[in-house]
Amino acid sequence: MRRTMIALSIAAALAASGCGEKAQKDENVKDSVKAEQSKNAMAQQSDNLLLADWIGPYGGVPAFDKMELEDLKPAIEKGIEMSLAELKAIAADSAKPTFANTIVPMERSGAELGRATAYYGIWAANMSSPEFRKVQQELAPIWADYESKIYQNKALFKRIKAIYDQRDSMDLDAEQKRVVDLIYTQFSTSGATLEGEAKERYAEINKRLAELYTTFSNNVLADEEGYDIFLSKEQLAGLPDSFVAAAAAMAEEKGEKGKYAITNSRSSMDPFLTYSDNRELRKQVWTNYYSRGDNGDEHDNNALIAEILTLRDERVGLQGFDNYAQWRLQDRMAKTPERAMELMEAVWPAAVARVKEEVADMQAVADAEKANITIEPWDYRYYAEKVRKDKYDLNSDEVKQYLQLDNLREAMFYVAGELFNFEFTPVKEGSVPVFHEDVKVWEVTDKTSGEHIGLWYLDPFARAGKRSGAWATMYRDHSTFDGKKNVLSSNNSNFIKGAPGEPVLVSWDDAETFFHEFGHALHFLASNVTYPTLNSGVRDYTEFQSQLLERWLSTDAVIDNYLVHYKTGEPIPADLVAKIKKAAKFNQGFATTEYLASALIDLKFHTVDPKGIDPDKFERETLEKLGMPKELVMRHRTPHFGHIFSGEGYSAGYYGYMWADVLTSDASEAFAESKGGFYDKNVAAKLVKHLFAPRNAVDPADAYRAFRGRDANIEALMRDRGFPIPEKKESSVAAKN
């Protein structure tokens, strides 16, 4: 089905049809008036820009420059109406169910709604506003109702099941069988088999969850926008010049010219905690960031989380599952929460042990400086940087001078050209509409044939109304069953703009994230599947391709050609490169433990009885039982853990980053061991053929074996992080069925 469900939170009941007629009117007249009103409304909505076919170059592009918020709700409502009508017609077909008369039209359905949700996604992620959030809240139950009407359509599911049961005897190719399997599984795990009261309750729960997810997200965004700190010049000690310039530009943008803005986002928080000499300010910035959604005010998320957990547990109970994680993981690579937990518990002791070593090193530095402190979470990054300089003679700010955002983008294009044979060319200015002046667009073509592959949009900078972090998305995915559809892909970041005329300099971690998200875009662009459903992702696999692409940042070809000093243009010195590589495993205790803490809490939340749960207390007590070091905190604390509480994409699945990282480490060794290294043409061809192009047309476990010739195992991951390899039990955990 072409239902681009981008974690929408689309809300509110369909607007009443304006039937304010007086009761004494004749019923026939009343019905005639209502019918005319409905006809007029449909005529108006059919002209809605957000539903219209995309026109223009490159197979048609979204009219981002013409979208109006007032059109959004009518477009979503009309799109849902049209989609349900299409599915109703498929379900009502009296002919024997076949792939051609059931699955194909389902794959074709929902095109108008898909276009409308592409615009919705821009407002939700890139250009939110109080006005949009009101519409968002109003639309949420509509989306839940829509999903319920799809999955609880008994006639439609009966046709799907008939094809599923006979798929081996039908003349279906491998892709078609995979589509049938995925659609049947989606329906059967989404309440299609329920009857009576259970069916009604399932729909009620979905509607309420949609409202809660929207409120959760908006509460976090409100706390990100409401806790800016404006500093004076006297409070800037230790901060790099590039950061100071960016903070000044941000303050001016926010109407505080002459001051320096520290926004409540990771892109601002992280460097401030790394470099600021002012410990009290570090504590304030740290507290603001890690208290998002947890301030006991109107934006507090704890009560919402408790209700979300309770409703999720009740919903899967209706289907006979013991807990939410059991239901969620049944079609993932891990298959069960026990296997996911097994992987994390294998790594956790080594990560915590490394944290103790890192803290000891930091405390020694603090003591030598006579700081008279004990390392606290707001000190970790600051003293880790001092240890980095001391142990490896590596200054992160010195490294940043060679990490210009524009050059990194060109480096990514180079890697894409070498591995995928892609070429990125800026489109003619004004030829492709954009939703903000910061957004730039490139055409992607095959270097050899010149064939058009798609477009790549880049929205790199932070601004008010834009969600935090970095992400990738598609406005149109690839398919060929109904005429070739070229990809419209997008990367989005929150880099802080530099001062006018100055390049944007980023940290090594941010550069890795830039490559990571580009890996998602390449996964979209490399798609070579027939049906839209095959572009869906398996959550504990879909991060693998993006995590793998991070490895090319530190390859010689990128370092030698794209890392040049932003002032002198001189290449990064060989001795500095050597220090970077020598320090590659530095601070892995911090990085691994803060991530694993979040992943473990996620899975534990979704495997316990949530009745009467106090999320704040549960987080605190669970971390204590795990032996969480007091000197650091979860990467995403529960009250702002949008991955798992603003929707269901990563719920009970945040472990997937580590699951995918086992694959990443193992696949990296395949390149490292090859004759041509990370640019080996044969290995790259296998990578594209087996791990990128098929998307979800092949079971991920089978796809990985086709690439590597075997399952992946945990040893490569432990080597990557400099951790001791655990005693052998069942080490090939990452690719088994």
Position 50 confidence tier, pLDDT thresholds 50, 70, 90: very high
Question: Could you give phi then psi for residue 172, rounded to 5 degrees?
Answer: -115, 140
pLDDT level of residue 468 (50, 70, 90 thresholds): confident
Instruction: For domain 29-176, give its CATH number from 1.10.1370.40, 1.20.1050.140, 3.40.1440.10, 2.60.120.580.
Output: 1.10.1370.40
Alpha helices per DSSP H over 229-336: 241-253, 266-275, 279-290, 302-317, 324-328
CB atoms within 10 A of CB 221: 24
CA distances from 437 to 124, 455, 475, 494, 594 (A): 18, 17, 18, 15, 36
Helix (H) or strand (E) holding 231: strand 229-231
| Phi then psi dihedrals of residue 441, to 5 deg | -130, 140
Mean pLDDT of the chain: 91
Cβ(467)–Cβ(448) below 8 Å: no
Please state, in angstroms and rounded to a whole number, the distance separating the CA atoms of residues 219 and 515. 29
Question: Does residue 458 contact residue 491 with C-beta atoms inside 8 Å?
Answer: yes
- Is residue 68 flagged as an active site residue? no
Residue pLDDT, tens place only, 428-458: 999 999 999 999 999 999 999 999 999 999 9
Whether the full predicted model's pTM is greater than 0.75, yes or no, is yes
Residues 6 or more apart whose CB falls under 8 angstroms from that of 77 comprise: 14, 15, 45, 142
pLDDT band at residue 501 using 50, 70 and 90 as cut-offs: confident
Residue 405 makes CB contacts below 8 A (sequence gap 6+) with 460, 495, 503, 504, 505, 506, 514
pLDDT of residue 728: 60
Distance CA 556, CA 678 (A): 9
DSSP 635-690: SS-GGG-HHHHSSSSSTTTTTHHHHHHHHHHHHHHHHHTSTTGGG-HHHHHHIIII
Domain range annotation of the chain: 29-176, 228-280, 334-394+587-645
Q: Is the pLDDT of residue 152 over 90?
A: yes
Nearest CA to 523 among 474, 482, 475? 474
Mean pLDDT along residues 655-673 = 95
- Residues with Cβ within 8 Å of residue 475, at least 6 apart in sequence: 62, 118, 121, 457, 488, 489, 490
The closest of 465, 435, 462 to 133, measured between CA atoms, is: 465
Q: What tens digit of pLDDT does each residue of 683-711 get?
A: 999 999 999 999 999 999 999 999 999 99
Bridge partners, residue 261, by sequence: 230
User: How far is it between the farthest Cα atoms of the chain?
Assistant: 91
Torsion of CA 376, 383, 397, 243, to 10 degrees: 30
Judge contact between 476 and 455, C-beta under 8 A.
no
Residues 436, 439, 440, 443: what is their CA dihedral angle, to the nearest 10 degrees? -100
Asked whether residue 52 carries a pLDDT value surpassing 70, the answer given is yes
> Cα 324 to the chain's mean position, in Å?
21
> How does DSSP classify residue 329?
G
Specify which residues 404 forms β-bridges with: 505
CA dihedral 158, 163, 168, 174 (to 10 degrees): -130
Other beta carbons within 10 Å of 130: 9
Q: How many CB atoms lie within 10 A of CB 448?
A: 8
Q: What is the DSSP letter of 3?
A: -
> In the prediction, which pLDDT does 37 show?
44
Chain segment 96-142, per-residue pLDDT in tens: 999 999 999 999 999 999 999 999 999 999 999 999 999 999 999 99
Q: What tokens appear for 211 in the block?
A: 């409202």
The DSSP line for 387-412 is HHHHHH---HHHHHTT-BHHHHHHHH
Q: What pLDDT shows up at residue 46?
A: 60
Q: E-assigned strands of 338-486?
A: 422-426, 440-446, 452-461, 471-476
Tell me what pLDDT residue 726 has.
75
Can you read off the two tokens belonging to residue 629?
Answer: 């070091």
For residue 499, pLDDT beyond 90: no
- DSSP label of 173: -
Asked if 227 and 272 count as a contact pair (C-beta separation under 8 A), the reply is no
Q: Is the pLDDT of residue 21 over 70?
A: no
Tokens of 264: 């409540």
Q: Which band of pLDDT confidence, cut at 50, 70 and 90, is reported for residue 729?
A: low
- Per-residue pLDDT, 47: 87
Q: Which of 421, 408, 664 is nearest to 515 (CA)?
A: 408
Q: With a cut of 70, say whether residue 35 has pLDDT above it.
A: no
DSSP 3-state of 260? strand
Of the listed ranges 166-180, 353-367, 457-471, the one predicted with least confidence: 457-471
Q: Classify 147 in phi/psi space as left (phi over 0), alpha (psi -120 to 50) or beta.
A: alpha
Per-residue model confidence (pLDDT) at position 498: 82
User: In the numeric block, which tokens belong to residue 517?
Assistant: 């998200």
d(CA 716, CA 306): 38
Res 649: pLDDT: 85
Mean pLDDT confidence for 335-362: 96
Residue 197 has which token pair? 């009261």
Which pair of structure tokens corresponds to residue 360? 């000891």
Measured CA to CA, the distance from residue 143 to residue 8 in angstroms comes to: 8
Q: Are 559 and 327 in contact (CB under 8 A)?
A: no
User: Within 10 Å of residue 588's Cβ, how many Cβ atoms?
Assistant: 18
pLDDT value of position 6: 29
DSSP string, 519-535: HHHHHHHT---SSGGGG
Active-site residue among 112, 517, 619, 631?
517
Percent composition of the chain: helix, strand, coil (DSSP 3-state, to 5)? 55, 5, 35
Q: Check: CB of residue 318 under 8 Å from CB of residue 685.
A: no
- Dist. CA 217–CA 293, nearest whole Å: 9
Separation CA 42–CA 473 (nearest Å): 30
Q: 385 and 586 in contact (C-beta within 8 Å)?
A: no
Confidence of residue 267 (pLDDT cuts 50, 70, 90): confident
Average pLDDT of span 345-365: 97
Query: For residue 262, what is the enclosing H or E element?
Result: strand 260-262
Cα distance between residue 445 and residue 454, in whole Å: 7
Closest CA to 335 of 608, 655, 622: 655
What's the pLDDT score for residue 732?
54
The larger pLDDT score, comparing residue 627 to residue 16, is at 627
pLDDT exceeds cutoff 60 at 295? yes
Encode burial over 634-654: b for 16+ CB neighbours within 10 A, e otherwise: bbbbbbbbbbbbbbbbbbbbb
| Range with the poorest average pLDDT among 39-48, 146-155, 160-169, 609-618 | 39-48
